[in-house]
Structure 1
Amino acid sequence: MLGSSRLVCLLVLLLECCLWVAAKRDFYAVLGVDRSASKKDIKKAYREQSRKYHPDKNPGDKNAEQKFVELAEAYEALSDDEKRRLYDQYGEEGLKGSGKQFHNPFDIFSQFGGFGGGSFGQRAERRGPSIVMPLDITLEELFRGVEIEVEINKQIICPICRGSGAKSHEHVKTCHSCGGHGVKIMRQQLAPGFVQQVQVTCDVCGGRGKIVQSKCAACAGEKVKRGSSQMTVQVERGMGDGQSIVFEGEADQSPDQRAGDVKFTLRQRPHPVFTRKGDNLYMTQAITLKEALLGFEKKVAHLDGKDLPIARKTVTQPGFVQTIKGQGMPKFGFPSERGDLFVEYSVVFPTTLTAEQQKLAAKLFEK
């Protein structure tokens, strides 16, 4: 049998191992997806969960804040093929050992058209221009909601020098002219005994306080280059023509200022059948003279692809408008509620009548 001291040591060691195993995070479990989940499934899970636990929706809730951060880390690890390979093979320690760092969780959230930037990390006061792009969309897509992948070409910070413009960090030196302050004090004598001090931007470093001795070969010292960015635009049910979806901080990047926003403005294509006004839909339905007089039952293909029955049991006058409750557009933000559908009827008269038909019609209407 083991001695009491050896037994205690063994129990402590087992306890430490259990705690270590418990501390390891399963990124798949954090997002609530299987290990075989596709990129699309991972994006969908992150989008739904991150909105639920966003700090702006859970003010003062530290658990929600921690969950929001974990969701961003899990998404960032599993949405990147190389990071996912490292994680699947070596776990979270493999990511740390590779030097791959996690980004600001609010920056990750903003890629999905997030509704807030949060307070994690300081943002530069200066902002670059925003990018405004029209996004053509059908009425069916506005009815059902749709997820659209969009790739935009933009200016990105050079991934080699990380915005320094230098070959390596050893080639960035403090400006000898301004001592790294970016400004210099100039003295001007206005009159005997009167000297004015003026602060001017350093003409050697251009106000940066640093001088690049050897330029980065990838960006030729420009600090930025052209690149592309893949964005997932989530068009929610009931959105309307002219409505905007904003991706904060996703416009052209610059090491000297905060990036502007990318704003997608929805532009609805004309529909051959339905016209939209607010949450209501309008359409014109042609019926024959017989149907106008005797009534009818028809089916109309709705925007979700399902057949919608419409019927009249009495005489239908040309221009009569029938209201079908709850068959309009979903209301944005409350998709379970819907507007109404208004059907205006036009009667198609026969172009000619035979002699026998004329007699029958005359007899029908003689009284």
Structure 2
Amino acid sequence: MLKLFWIVCVVSLLIAVAAAGKDYYDILTVPRDASKAQIKKAYKKLSKIYHPDKNPGDQGAKDKFVELSDAYAVLTDDDKRRIYDQYGEEGLNQQNGGGGGFHNPFDIFQQFFGGGGNGRQQERRGPDMNLEIDVTLEELYHGKSVNVEVSKQVVCDHCFGTGAENSEDVVTCSTCHGKGYQVFEMQLGPHMVQQFQQQCDQCRGKGKVIRHVCTVCQGNKVRRGNELYTINIDKGMKDGEVITLEREADEYPEEVIPGDIHFIIKAQPHRRFERRGDHLRIQETINLYEALAGFEHNIEQLDGRNITLKRSGVTQYGLVEKVAGEGMPIDHGSKAGDLYVEYKVIFPTHVDKEIIQGT
């Protein structure tokens, strides 16, 4: 009885230790039997939401970002995950390196989205996507956030890239016994036998086979899906400029890094203004009397303000006047280019004889 008592105490202690600390599965909102693909997808989504750069001054978001990084580092490492499942966060802290194994949570984010580190640069990479965004000159003047829906290949959210209907449907290949290859012998001559390896035809070198394929993706592991992105167009951006979302192109179920999506700014022609670099040009028509005696005109700027053009005396046909600071925004609107106004004189279709004789 005493021995049984101590066994119960030890088991209770282990359960209490495992229950203590943070629930990494809950932090990433994944089940305890989640696959690595499912964990990566959850981290990818949540880390972008809680990244400190998107939440300046929000300590709660920063703490959440750190928790996500710790959870991702543990649950994608087979040894750490096994210890965590048995003994919880305290069990990890007993090991060298602590819970997450990363001194800086931005290291994981950089490796996941920006490449580099721990050999990730050697992984295969999918192709980039180039998409044009039609933008008006007014939108480039003001700056704007636009929602863009992108059709792309995504990892199946039913099987999480396994291709199987359930996790129990992924079993060890009975042909190669999980090795991924088969060993054959070839008789070369008397007492001469050569062994060689060949990829298993049954599992195609995976070591695993699927008994029942996923009913959503039909075992393809991926499907077509639409994802909505919010693209921030800064004030003063130019035609042809590129906004890049790293690792947001087609997704893959295995160790293939998604390529980048490049959103290319396509500026639409304006009915009155012409853009030249950071400057704007416009043509303003005046009649002959105004060209000789002077005038005062108002033109509407791209933000709806009126700009007053006022001249006295003679205005030559084709004269270009500079209006300082009324061009396109520069450096997110901290300064601006100039507006150049070219005057076109409209001559009368006829002149009375009295006027000619009077001159």
- The bucket for the TM-score relative to the shorter chain is 0.5 to 0.7
Q: Who is 2:272 aligned against?
A: 273
TM-fit CA distance, 1:316:
1.1
Can you list the C-alpha shifts for 1:303-323, whole angstroms capped at 9, x where unaligned? 111111112123111111101
Aligned mate of 2:53, from 47, 50, 53: 50
Once the two structures are TM-superposed, the CA of residue 236 in structure 1 deviates from its matched residue by 0.7
Alignment partner for residue 163 of structure 1, among 142, 161, 164?
A: 161
Query: What is the CA-CA distance between 1:251 and the residue it aligns to?
Result: 1.6
Residue identity in the other structure for 2:53: S
Q: CA deviation at 1:245?
A: 1.1
State whether residues 129 and 259 of structure 1, in contact with CA within 8 Å, keep that contact through their aligned partners in structure 2: yes
Partner of 2:348: 350
Mapped to 2, the partners of 1:220 and 1:204 lie a distance apart of: 18
- Determine what percentage of the aligned residue pairs are the same residue: 40
- Give the whole-Å Cα distance in 1 for the aligned partners of 2:318 and 2:286: 11
CA contact (8 A) 1:154 1:251 kept: yes
SS in 2 for 1:311: strand
How far apart, in 1, do the equivalents of 2:225 and 2:159 lie? Answer: 15
Q: 1:325 to 1:168 in 2, by over 3 A?
A: same
In the alignment, which residue of structure 2 is the partner of 1:310? 309
RMSD value over aligned CA atoms? Answer: 3.5
Once the 2 structures are TM-superposed, how far is the Cα of residue 135 of structure 1 from its aligned partner? 0.8
Counterpart of 1:50, as a letter, is: D
Matched-pair contact (CA < 8 Å) for 1:50–1:71: no
SS at match of 2:140: helix
The equivalent residue for 1:69 is 65
Give 1:50 shift.
2.2
How many pairs are equivalent? 269
Q: What letter is aligned with 2:114?
A: G
Asked if 2 retains the 8 angstrom alpha-carbon contact of 1:175 and 1:210, the reply is: yes
TM-superposed deviation, 1:176:
3.3
CA shift in 2, pair 1:325/1:50, >3 Å: same
Partner of 1:91: none
Letter in structure 2 aligned against 1:321: V
CA deviation after TM superposition for structure 1 residue 241, in Å: 0.4
Q: Is the 8 A contact 2:234 2:332 kept in 1?
A: no
2: CA distance between counterparts of 1:314 and 1:193?
113
What does the per-residue CA deviation read over 1:190-228, in whole Å, with 9 as the maximum and x for residues that have no partner?
788887776654322223232111111111111111211
**What are the ranges of 5 or more consecutive residues in structure 2 without an aligned counterpart?**
1-48, 70-104
* Equivalent residues of 2:213, 2:219 under 8 A apart: yes
Equivalent residue, structure 1, for 2:141: 143
- TM-score when normalising by structure 1: 0.64
Give the Cα separation in 1 of the matches to 2:302 and 2:193. 78
Corresponding residue for residue 322 of structure 1: 321
- TM (norm. structure 2) is 0.65
> Which residues of structure 1 form unaligned runs of 5+?
1-45, 55-62, 74-104, 111-115
Match of 1:87 in 2: none
Residue of 238, 253, 256 corresponding to 1:255: 253
Q: Which amino acid aligns with 2:270?
A: H
| Inter-CA distance 167–71: structure 2 relative to 1 (3 Å threshold) | closer
In structure 2, distance between residues paired with 1:67 and 1:276? 45
Cα gap change, 1:232 to 1:286, in 2 (>3 Å)? same
Taking the aligned partners of 1:312 and 1:199, their CA distance within structure 2 comes to 90
* SS of alignment partner, residue 252 of structure 1: coil
Q: Is the 8 A contact 2:50 2:62 kept in 1?
A: no
For residues 303 and 183 of structure 1, what CA distance do their matches in structure 2 show? 67
Cα distance change on mapping 1:307 and 1:164 into 2, 3 Å: same
